[in-house]
Amino acid sequence: MDNRQIILKQRPRGLPGPECFELRRTPMPQPADGQVLLQNLYLSLDPAIRGWMDDAPSYLPPIEVGAVMRGTTVARVVESRVPRFNPGDLVHGLHGWEDYSIAEDSPFLFAIPPEIDRPLTNFLSVLGPTGLTAYFGMLEVAQALPGETVLVSGAAGAVGSIAGQIATMLGCRAVGIAGGKKKCRWLTESLGFAAAIDYKSTPDITAAIREACPKGVDVYFDNVGGEILEAVLDTINVRARIVMCGSVATYNNTAPTPGPRNLWQLLVKTASLEGYLVSSYLSEWPDARLTLAQWLEEGHIEFREHIDKGLESAPVSFLRLFSGDHDGKLIVDIAGES
Amino acid sequence: MDNRQIILKQRPRGLPGPECFELRRTPMPQPADGQVLLQNLYLSLDPAIRGWMDDAPSYLPPIEVGAVMRGTTVARVVESRVPRFNPGDLVHGLHGWEDYSIAEDSPFLFAIPPEIDRPLTNFLSVLGPTGLTAYFGMLEVAQALPGETVLVSGAAGAVGSIAGQIATMLGCRAVGIAGGKKKCRWLTESLGFAAAIDYKSTPDITAAIREACPKGVDVYFDNVGGEILEAVLDTINVRARIVMCGSVATYNNTAPTPGPRNLWQLLVKTASLEGYLVSSYLSEWPDARLTLAQWLEEGHIEFREHIDKGLESAPVSFLRLFSGDHDGKLIVDIAGES
């Protein structure tokens, strides 16, 4: 049986169009000692992948031209040459846009915990790196306190929507920034955000933040960077914490973007800006996932998944992240199990 | 007797030239209940004063046009209507560019501790807000650890030179950035910096930092902002801490300066950028000053003072901060006691 793979054919300039990808068929890989052979069931499409497509130093090496695209998958063990896994086990980890992957045994390869009875796709959304990013960002990095105002950008996105709901659970006043009236309504009417700002129809973001956050901003959970970060810096309170979680507004820029002109406000307000990766908290993932699962059971967290079908659809599906044309965590069903 | 005052005649655009200041004579002020009348002996000239001259929101209100210039002084109590002070007591606090000031009793008005037997000017330099800024920035904000590489900009300046020496005392490898070969030699030959970078003669600051910090930068104590901050961001290590203490490179800009184009490196390295004011640690000043005084006695800290004479020289003297034409903490001797 062949293995279908989507490879990086060429590096993108700006938006990664179809010319950047190629579907390749290769022989089924064979695991060596200390490896497992996985059948990928679901693939998570995340904005961070766009960064890995550039030939620029980052927290992971760039995807090489000609190599398989990288992404988090939920997978089933087909063959195991690792003591802790058996054929049929379900795992998740950072693998490839392909039907079958070889994985080393490492702390990055997680068993799906059998005690959590949820659909497998949830381990790529609310119970996966996405939900965990919201969880550690709000609890460990921002350390949001009851009564504080927590502003979230990309608030209708997979991470932002959960981040805001966690803030509300903590007793904070969550305010979201999102693109479009429909998304904003979802934030306030379904997710418990106290207010929402539609950046697409707001000419003056700073004024809109001031209106939505009359007591100023104590925590800014930043998923987008760019101009909105600059606007927020003019509205922060003393000792504010800005969690730099993503910068989707700038990922497709073809030249480096100038940073905020008012970075100085960090000194004026003795505030902090902290870059954050969920992988820094790897050893705490299992406990955090149990907590998130409990919050789900108790009805504290609502989430959505947008599932596209077929490995071959992944390149087109990926573009949805930058057009906003999806409704929930973007996932590709590779094996046709959903 | 008259009181001579230097007032802000007009707001500067760019460098604050003589047109911005005026010497005014007013009647001697009278203290009310809860106030003291002070004779200012020495005035500290600091880059931060430049920020207060702009009509821009900051951590202190702007100096009003027509009002006395603001600055830290060491002063002698002439008349006291406050229980804790008597005529003849020596104090320091945030007062004016003037012979005599009225001060409210507040936590910002400090008695000069009699148990520290040092020249009065030292309470504006190494034992004053300058030395304390270095102290809390390195120990509390950066939390520099033995073995780490600590990069300091403005390293030959009043704050930077002490920050680097504290880093060395902590067992860090201190590297300084300063303007000119002479200053750089002082850093490495007298102050114990492991290396120094002369930014004026270095075409590629990033390359120079990489060479001087072969293990990368763990702590960056930033006194200058601007392009050097951008260069440093490309050299930081995982979990690096950037202490934003000042931004002397941008104070005289007439338009907002774009921030670093590579702010994203904070996320890549899960690093933090924290704005910092020494006034956040006010209650810890007395203990910290005793520690600094002990380090002085033990010969761990070397420092210099540049003392100009006469209140009327303050406006011209102030410009030295931006030309670099001074050799040590810049102080004006107002009362002719030195």
- What was the pLDDT predicted at A27? 96
Higher pLDDT, A175 or A324: A175
Of B270, B271, B277, the CB nearest to A267: B277
Q: CB distance B256–A262 less than 8 Å?
A: yes
- Alpha carbon distance A147, A154 (integer Å): 22
Tell whether B210 is within 8 A of chain A (Cβ).
no
Between CA B260 and CA B267 the distance in angstroms is 14
Q: Which of B260, B261, B276 sits opposite A270 (nearest CB)?
A: B276
Among B194, B208, B280, which residue's Cα sits nearest to residue B243?
B280
pLDDT at A249 over 70: no
- Confirm if B154 and B160 have CB atoms less than 8 A apart: yes
B308 and B207 both lie in a single domain: no
Pairs of CB atoms within 8 A across A/B: 101
Number of domains in chain B: 2
- Please tell me if residue B254 touches chain A, with a CB cutoff of 8 Å: no
In this structure, what CATH number is given to the domain that contains residue B310?
A: 3.90.180.10
Instruction: Tell me, yes or no, if B237 comes closer than 8 A to chain A by beta carbon.
Output: no
A277 → chain B, closest CA residue: B270
Distances from the Cα of B134 to the Cα of B155, B160, B207, B323, angstroms: 11, 7, 26, 22
Q: Are residues A158 and A271 in the same domain?
A: yes
Show the low-confidence residues of chain B (pLDDT under 50).
Answer: none
CA dihedral in degrees (A82, A86, A87, A93; nearest 10)? -60
Q: Is A58 on the interface with B (CB under 8 A)?
A: yes
Give the DSSP per-residue string, A119-158.
Answer: -GGGGTTTTSHHHHHHHHIIIIIS---TT-EEEEESTTSH
A273 and A133 share one domain = yes
A263·B259 Cβ contact <8 A: yes
pLDDT at A76: 98
A46 within domain boundaries: yes
Q: Which domain holds residue A114?
A: 2-125+304-333
Q: Closest Cα to residue B226, out of B154, B150, B317?
A: B154
| Side-chain-side CA neighbours of residue A222 (13 Å) | 31
Query: What's the whole-model pTM score?
Result: 0.92
Mutate to test the interface with A, among B254, B273, B277, B280 (most CBs of A within 10 A): B273
Among the residue ranges A3-12, A175-184, B241-250, B318-327, the one predicted with the least confidence is: B241-250
Residue A246 banded pLDDT, cuts 50, 70, 90: confident
Higher local confidence (pLDDT), B107 or A64: A64
Interface predicted TM-score (ipTM): 0.91
Q: Cα separation of A127 and A120, whole Å? A: 9
Are residue A204 and residue A147 in the same domain, yes or no? yes
Please tell me whether residues A261 and A151 are part of one structural domain: yes
Cα–Cα dist B113/B117, whole Å: 9
CA neighbours within 13 Å on the CB side: how many for A95?
32
Q: How high is the pLDDT of residue B248? A: 67
Q: Taking CB atoms and an 8 Å cutoff, what residues of chain A touch B258?
A: 258-259, 261
SS3 state at B187:
helix
pLDDT(A254) > 80: no
Residues in B closer than 8 angstroms to A247, CB to CB, are 264, 267
Nearest CA in chain A to B261: A258
The band of A59, judged by pLDDT with boundaries at 50, 70 and 90, is confident
What pLDDT, on the 0 to 100 scale, is given for residue B59? 87
pLDDT in tens, A213-225: 999 999 999 998 8
SS (H, E, C) A249-308: CCCCCCCCCCECCCCCHHHHCCCEEEECCHHHHHHHHHHHHHHHHHHHHCCCCCCCEEEE
Q: Is the separation of the CB atoms in A78 and A37 below 8 Å?
A: yes
A259: nearest CB among B261, B271, B276: B261
Which residues of chain B does A282 touch, with a Cβ-Cβ cutoff of 8 Å?
A: none
Residue A288 in domain: no
Residue A34's SS3 state is coil
Of A164, A166, A197, whose CA–CA distance to A183 is shortest? A197
CATH number, domain at A172? Answer: 3.40.50.720
Q: Report the chain B residue with the minimal C-alpha distance to residue A278.
A: B270
**Section A11-26 average pLDDT:** 95
Query: A225–B264: do the CB atoms touch at under 8 Å?
Result: yes
Domain match, B155 and B240 both = yes
